[in-house]
Amino acid sequence: MKTKWSILFVLLLCIMPLLAGCWNRRELKELSIVAAMGVDKIPETNKYKVSFQIINPGNVAAVVAGGGPQNVTPVTVYTGTGDNLFGAIRKASQKVPRQLFFAHLQLIVIGEPLAKQGVRDIFDFFERSHEIRLTTMVLVARGSEADSIVKVLTPLEKIPANNIAGQMKMTSKLWSENIKVEMDQVIKALQSEGTPIISGVKIVGEPEVGNKSSNLRQTNVPARADITGIALFKNGKLKRWLNGDEGRGALWIRNKMKSTVVDLDCKDKKDAIGIEVVRSQTKVNAKVQNRKPVFHIHIREEGHVSEVRCPMDLSKVEEITKLEKQWALETKKEVMKAVKAAQREESDIFGFGEAVNRANPKAWKKMKKEWDKIFAESKVDVKVDAFIRRSGMRIKPYLSEQQ
CB 378 within 8 Å of CB 350: no
- Radius of gyration over alpha carbons of the chain, in Å? 27
Helix axes 245-253, 317-344, angle to 10 degrees: 90
Residue type (1 letter), 55 = I
- What residues are paired with 250 via a beta bridge? none
E strand or H helix at 166, and its extent?
helix 160-174
**pLDDT value, residue 398:** 77
CA-CA distance, 344 to 375, in Å (whole number)?
A: 10
Kindly list the domain boundaries of the chain, sorted by start residue: 28-242, 244-403
CA-CA distance, 186 to 194, in Å (whole number)?
A: 10
For the chain, residues with pLDDT lower than 70 are: 1-2, 17-24, 61-71, 193, 399-403
SS3 125: helix
Which pTM was predicted?
0.91
**pLDDT value, residue 369:** 93
Q: What is the pLDDT of residues 53-79, one digit of tens each?
A: 999 987 776 555 555 555 678 999 999
Which residue in 350, 340, 361 sits closest to 288, CA to CA? 361
**pLDDT value, residue 1:** 62
**pLDDT value, residue 18:** 66
DSSP structure string for 250-281 = HHHHTT----EEEEEEETTEEEEEEEEEEEEE
CA-CA distance, 316 to 272, in Å (whole number)?
A: 18
**pLDDT value, residue 247:** 97
Residue type (1 letter), 209 = V
CA-CA distance, 317 to 313, in Å (whole number)?
A: 9
E strand or H helix at 226, and its extent?
strand 223-234
CATH topology for the 244-403 domain: GMP Synthetase; Chain A, domain 3 (3.30.300)
**pLDDT value, residue 22:** 66
